[in-house]
Structure formats: structure tokens, C-alpha cells
Structure 1
């Protein structure tokens, strides 16, 4: 396996290509350039405890955030984690996570969000399983700020809805955890986007990804289309 040169911790786009358990590319640098813009990643190439980032995942996440910013001047975003019932297969739990976002989008069609429905919702998820640990999922969601300005709690707001839907899908056997960090992302303020990307790059870390190379998903994301070709930076 090709090994990266780690002498420059601030090196940019230090990549290696891999074909074990599928074909993927790893980013071994702290700073990453995507479409001419620089982002910080949750990775320290000098630390043995830190994991390189999967390029295919972080690229998709960045593109979806930009797509959302083509529709809205400001976004509200946060990360959340999902546990799954013990012993559930990867294929089955992947389907449940997809159903979660499908049902959540369905609830956005009601005109109860600042008197309107939420037209576009950006999101992404990544499955993770490490030695002697149960499969779990790290997720993020980005919504129009003029309609959603808080994550809520276990029984209210967006978090309340996620918690209720996930409990229904898993028959109350699993939970939702919302770590610290809420993000207000503004079009034209690249720094606000950098903070969010650094936060969700953790979801794209290579450690714990379980792909067998046989079509088993390790991540997914929304499919928001760009509204215009406006400059977002």
C-alpha cells in the first residue's frame, strides 16, 4: 500500500489511491483544496490516532453544502449520531437511515416552517464500525436559516422529529445523540463553511469504514441541485 509523506503537516491535497475493499482515495493532509477553495479537515497526519479522510465522501458533502447555498443566503446545520439495534445487518441498517431522511423530508412538506414548507434539505451520513464495537452512523443536516434556527431537543424541533422517527424505525431500541456544535453558514462567508466542513469531515474518516467492495454503502448524501452558477465565495 502506498504510504504518504508526512513531513509537511500543512501540505495540501496529499492523496493516495486504494483498491482494497473497493476503490477509494484518501486525503492525508490537514488542508484540502476543492474547486479552488481551501478547507480544514479533522485530520492530523502526524498523529497515529488520527485517520485520513475519504475524498469521495468529503467531496460529496462539500458539493451538497454549496448546492444548498445556491438556493439560500444562510443555512443552519448540525451533526447527529445514530445507534442501531445490536445484531442488525449493515444492509438493513443502511435502509433504515435512508428511511429516516425520507420520512424527515416528508415532514418538511407541511407549511409549518415559518409559514412555508422546506423545499431543500442538505444532509449526509456515514456508517462506522470498529473492532469490538457496534455499527453506528454519523450524520449531518443543513436547512434554510430563515426557517430553522435551532436544533431543538429530544422531543422538540428538528432533533425531536429525528428522535421520534428513528425510535419508530427501530422499535425504540436505538437512540439519537446530538454532539456539541451548531453552524450558521452564510453565502459569501467562506469561513463559516470551513467550520462546518471541518466538523463533518470526521464522518468521512477512513477508520471504521466497512465496505466489502460488493456494493455495500459506506455513506450517502442528499441530491440537491444547484440553482444557479453564482459565486459562493
Structure 2
């Protein structure tokens, strides 16, 4: 594949890699988890990073709080396809929707095969933060769904984040950045490109975003609360009180029955 190096990025015909500590998407500079435990700097694919942000923003367009949770999925038998993760995410999303009676469940997963000839998956789920803001039930449901497929769940340290739209509207992106930084690990190049494998290395949901207060696709930081309040004020029907006509009020009952025009 033809590539060129420019400002710390490797650009190809079908992919863009970056080894920079941040990436700018939609005008927002976001941190990337590109340093391994060994201290080495690793490349990350930009396309998954863009789609991760898209799913977080799409969920925030529907809910004023969203809950982000990370965990891993381990398989016991190698496969060149992703049928196992496709089945898991479909059943898991359906389970979460039923449990919380919610419509939107976003997800992102990546496939990795490194030293052992057996793939594993990193998985993240994004749900309505008004329904849950703790990991327990979501992890329990993941374990239940995984057990049916003879899979196992890998638990991560400090795996969850609650992003509030109100904080973003105030300019506080601390939790948003922390969540994105954590999920950016799924975009790392290492373990993704395996010889003779044709399976996808990552996949995300495609939640349809609501439009923001300006009628455009929602971006992190858009203030829906203010927009809804202003819209309600503008659409409020003002009732005009009618005043009684003194001439008609002074008429007798017989006079009121007479035609107005002779």
C-alpha cells in the first residue's frame, strides 16, 4: 500500500494512522491512549476514533446523560470470522433494551489477535445515563449472554464514565475526554493486522443523532435544554381577553333579539 508520512501521521489509500497524543475531530482536540504499558508509543487508526466520537455524540443528542462501560470478551476457539461477536452484541443489546426499557444502545468493539493464535475482543457499551450509572447490572447481563455462547468476560479497572450534557454546555469536557481516551485503546494498530485474516478489526453501532438547536447534527456541547426552553416560549399560545361591549351590555333582552340591520 502506498503511504506517506506527514506530521506524525501515516496516510494510506484506505486508512490513516496517528501516533500523536491527541486527535482533532469536529474541531475538538481529544486525547488518545497511544502509550503502552511498556512505554512504547503505538499507532492508532483515525477512522475508529471518529466513529467512537460519533456514537458518544449521537447518544448525547438523545439523552442528557450517557453511561459508558468497557469490558473484554474472550473466546476459547479461534475463528477467522466475527460471527461470535456479532451474535453477542445483538443478544446483549436486546437484553439491555428490555431490561432498561430503552430504545438506544450504542456499542463499539475491536478484534485483536496478538501472540496467541486466538482472537479476543475489546467491547464498550453506551447507554442512557438516566437509566443506569453503575456497571453492575450491565456487566451481569454481559456475563449471562456470554455464557450462552461459551465466552467469558474480562473485567477492566475503573471501566465506566458518566458524561453529562450539562457539563459540556458549561465547557467542562473532563469526563468526556476521559471516556474517549479510554475507548481510543480500541483503535490501536497493534494486533489488528493479521496475515491471511479478512475479518473486520472493529465495528460500531450507528445511532441516528437528533438535530441540535441550530438544526444541524448534534455535536458535544450543544445546549438542548436552552433550545427546548426557548422553543416552548416561542410556541406558547397567548390568549387575548375580550372585553364586553358596553352598548350590548346596556341592551334589554328584547332589544338583543332585534336584527342588527333593518
TM-score with structure 2 setting the length: 0.72
1:77 aligns to 2:68 (yes or no):
yes
Structure exhibiting the larger radius of gyration computed from Cα positions:
2
Greater share of residues in helix: 2
Give the aligned partner of residue 97 of structure 1: 85
1:158 aligns to 2:138 (yes or no):
yes
Q: Deviations over 1:80-102 (max 9, x none)?
A: 0011113x2130xx111111111
Q: Does the CA-based 8 Å contact 2:18-2:46 persist in structure 1? A: yes
Q: Does the CA-based 8 Å contact 2:97-2:104 persist in structure 1? A: no
1:179 aligns to 2:173 (yes or no):
no
Compared with structure 1, are the counterparts of its residues 48 and 99 closer, same or farther at alpha carbon in structure 2 (3 Å cutoff)?
same
Please tell me the root mean square deviation across aligned C-alpha atoms, in Å. Answer: 2.2
**Range with bigger deviation, 216-225 or 47-56:** 47-56
Q: Distance in 1 between matches of 2:134 and 2:174?
A: 20
Query: Per the alignment, in what secondary structure is the counterpart of residue 223 of structure 1?
Result: coil
Query: Per the alignment, in what secondary structure is the counterpart of residue 70 of structure 1?
Result: helix
Query: Per the alignment, in what secondary structure is the counterpart of residue 178 of structure 1?
Result: strand
1:223 aligns to 2:206 (yes or no):
yes
Give the aligned partner of residue 11 of structure 1: none
Q: Deviations over 1:66-120 (max 9, x none)?
A: 100000111111110011113x2130xx11111111112222343x42xxx1110
- The Cα shift of 1:192 comes to 1.5
Give the aligned partner of residue 184 of structure 2: 201
Give the aligned partner of residue 15 of structure 1: 9
Give the aligned partner of residue 255 of structure 2: none
Q: Among 136, 139, 143, which residue is 2:123 paired with? A: 139
- The Cα shift of 1:216 comes to 2.3
More relative contact order, 1 or 2 (CA 8 Å, 6+ apart):
1
- The Cα shift of 1:166 comes to 1.0
Q: Distance in 1 between matches of 2:176 and 2:195?
A: 32
TM-score with structure 1 setting the length: 0.81
Compared with structure 1, are the counterparts of its residues 48 and 18 closer, same or farther at alpha carbon in structure 2 (3 Å cutoff)?
farther
Compared with structure 1, are the counterparts of its residues 90 and 145 closer, same or farther at alpha carbon in structure 2 (3 Å cutoff)?
same
Query: Per the alignment, in what secondary structure is the counterpart of residue 108 of structure 2?
Result: strand
Q: Distance in 2 between matches of 1:109 and 1:124?
A: 16
| Total equivalences in the alignment | 207
Q: Distance in 1 between matches of 2:195 and 2:86?
A: 20
